[in-house]
A and B are shown apart, each in its own frame.
Chain A
């Protein structure tokens, strides 16, 4: 294990010392020395994730596809999202906007004496097991992510953004990162603040993101697979999550209001949103305005969806023709 760590850190250090650190030094940005080193690791982890998706998960999609993906153009844009996200380009933009905000909130909270509760004090056993501690924080983090996901569907302005994620008619392992950058920003802001207040360690946070996002990528896979009767109630799998992307029909207007959980289905079971019927359904959004996202490139999607978002926020921008796209499917 230590050999692997040395190889990993050696590569990270080489990239940092060869490329990043001289730039920071040259441009007088040395106060970002430590965060920049961690950013290199995030990019490296992103490359690993892309490799796992492209070489591992895609194998299952090719071998046992649920739906025939006859239009690769629809999927191509999702690959762009994945690369931009996993290589840290989207995260960098999000970080630059989110950091001052989360920093101010943290300053304010800590200036008045607030310190994260640290579960180890409540559960001393967590002190003795790094794995147990990591799992507890992972579960808590997922709990927050579950409710954020519900909010994305609940509020029309947020649905205007999040509908981009659901508009894909050919959901694949590349679809998880298909999100509007403002949506990324809002979710990141909320989860970082949550992590700060709960007291998630920075190192755990990166690991949670890495593992969580891989599970979510897999849960979008174009395969009809689950982990069995017990397993699919422990971890979200493709069959479980695909139902959340199901196209609404006259009989099932609210089908997408199920299976919100990112990683642990327990939240859906606890809060009455789980659906394990296992039926196969087409995916997408039954709304021509939202469905029009398909066939557009990354930039056009970002611009048009931002327009949707603004119109949802400010009614005076609304036009009658785009009203349906502003409402969550639950309404």
Chain B
């Protein structure tokens, strides 16, 4: 499609709210903006200003809204989950780098990456229940199925920490490897997978005490998980390797590898399950991966350092359904 045609499509689609039915939202973290793209046309429709250093986002438990964490302005920008339009601002959420709701929807947790603390809020009204200061760049998080514990990785100190949600205290704090990032609680609630950005794969961790009980090589700088949706397979981005691995979590093996250059990071999957969209942080693009062919079929220009990605009108995880779609990052807790 030539550029004129792309422009015409973008103009036409941008003018209609209905066009957003198949849209994708991408956070341009170093540009203080977010892009709205057409999923079907694979073109950026609009780029709108938002906060400062927006990195991650999460859908509300009812699936009606998306919270964009604006780290440098200490606030959450609330967007309509269907249209991507701004609704309101939730202020006084300090340094919300990574954000997530517990599966039961009662707790809202933020990891303050720059300020080294983990905040646990009552999700209803965002009332702070407890703030736990902890050194080491708290980055990614995952909740256990019962909504009792949140696991947070500390990227600088190589540790994984389990926090009790009800008491806002630390259950355990263990070393798991170099630069741990994405955390995933498997549906059986008996294993945690932790991606190691300072190494070339993931480790398997015992949720009760943090013991490392296994590992799997996926690629250099394993970083972030996203569920395929079948409860068994998860995608894992490898930032230095420039690949996305498809991991069979039951047999703990890599069953597919997709080349995605440019520091692949956050991901989201189309509602029909046919495409995986992956932000290419360094290339200022978002990759479209065809999951039948298991290869990248498009790369769409967006803003600088695209990080979080979200499919508008994505189905939200029903409360209590566990981590089939509620996994390690804000982008995949839907």
Chain A positions within 8 Å of B, measured between CB atoms, are 2, 5-6, 9-10, 12-13, 16-17, 21-22, 25, 28, 30-31, 33-34, 37-38, 103, 106-107, 110-111, 113, 115-116, 118, 120, 127, 130, 133, 199, 201-203
Listed by A's residue number, 9 A-B pairs whose Cβ atoms lie within 8 Å are: A6-B283, A22-B240, A37-B263, A37-B281, A107-B114, A110-B74, A120-B49, A130-B49, A201-B31
Check A31–B31 contact: CB distance below 8 A: no
- Known A-B contacts A25-B220, A30-B221, A37-B282; the reply to A2 vs B137 at CB < 8 A is no
Beyond the given pairs A5-B301, A13-B262, 14 more chain A to chain B contacts, judged by CB atoms under 8 angstroms and listed by A's residue number, are: A9-B283, A13-B261, A16-B282, A17-B240, A17-B242, A22-B240, A28-B179, A30-B198, A33-B239, A34-B305, A111-B115, A115-B75, A118-B73, A201-B30
| Complex Cα spacing A53 to B178, Å | 43
| Complex Cα spacing A103 to B135, Å | 14
| Complex Cα spacing A315 to B30, Å | 46
Closest-by-CB residue of B relative to A127 is B49
List residues 289-305 of chain B with CB under 8 A from any CB of chain A: 301, 304-305
| Complex Cα spacing A34 to B71, Å | 16
Closest-by-CB residue of A relative to B47 is A130
Contacts of A118 in B (CB 8 A): 52, 73
| Complex Cα spacing A21 to B242, Å | 11
Residue of B53, B74, B240 touching A25 (CB-CB under 8 A): B240
Residue of B30, B94, B197, B283 touching A110 (CB-CB under 8 A): B94
Contacts of A12 in B (CB 8 A): 282
A47 CB, nearest partner CB in chain B, Å = 19
Residue of B75, B197, B304 touching A33 (CB-CB under 8 A): B197
Chain B positions within 8 Å of A, measured between CB atoms, are 30-32, 49, 52-53, 72-75, 91-92, 94-95, 114-116, 137, 155-156, 178-179, 197-198, 220-221, 239-240, 242, 261-263, 281-284, 301, 304-305
Residue of A13, A17, A34, A113 touching B74 (CB-CB under 8 A): A113
Residue of A16, A115, A203 touching B72 (CB-CB under 8 A): A115
Closest-by-CB residue of A relative to B178 is A28
Check B52–A199 contact: CB distance below 8 A: yes
Check A110–B156 contact: CB distance below 8 A: no
| Count: A-B pairs, CB below 8 Å | 90
Residue of B75, B198, B240, B301 touching A2 (CB-CB under 8 A): B301
Check A25–B30 contact: CB distance below 8 A: no
The 3 closest A-B pairs by CB, nearest first: A30-B179, A115-B74, A30-B198
Check B92–A202 contact: CB distance below 8 A: no
| Complex Cα spacing A111 to B263, Å | 31
Check A21–B240 contact: CB distance below 8 A: yes
Check A13–B30 contact: CB distance below 8 A: no
Residue of A13, A30, A202 touching B283 (CB-CB under 8 A): A13
Check B282–A9 contact: CB distance below 8 A: yes
Closest-by-CB residue of B relative to A16 is B282
| Complex Cα spacing A27 to B305, Å | 24
Check B95–A110 contact: CB distance below 8 A: yes
| Complex Cα spacing A309 to B5, Å | 63
Contacts of A199 in B (CB 8 A): 52, 72-73
Residue of A5, A10, A30, A127 touching B178 (CB-CB under 8 A): A30
Closest-by-CB residue of A relative to B239 is A33
Check B30–A202 contact: CB distance below 8 A: yes
Closest-by-CB residue of A relative to B116 is A107
| Complex Cα spacing A113 to B156, Å | 24
| Complex Cα spacing A17 to B240, Å | 7
Closest-by-CB residue of A relative to B33 is A130
Check B284–A201 contact: CB distance below 8 A: no
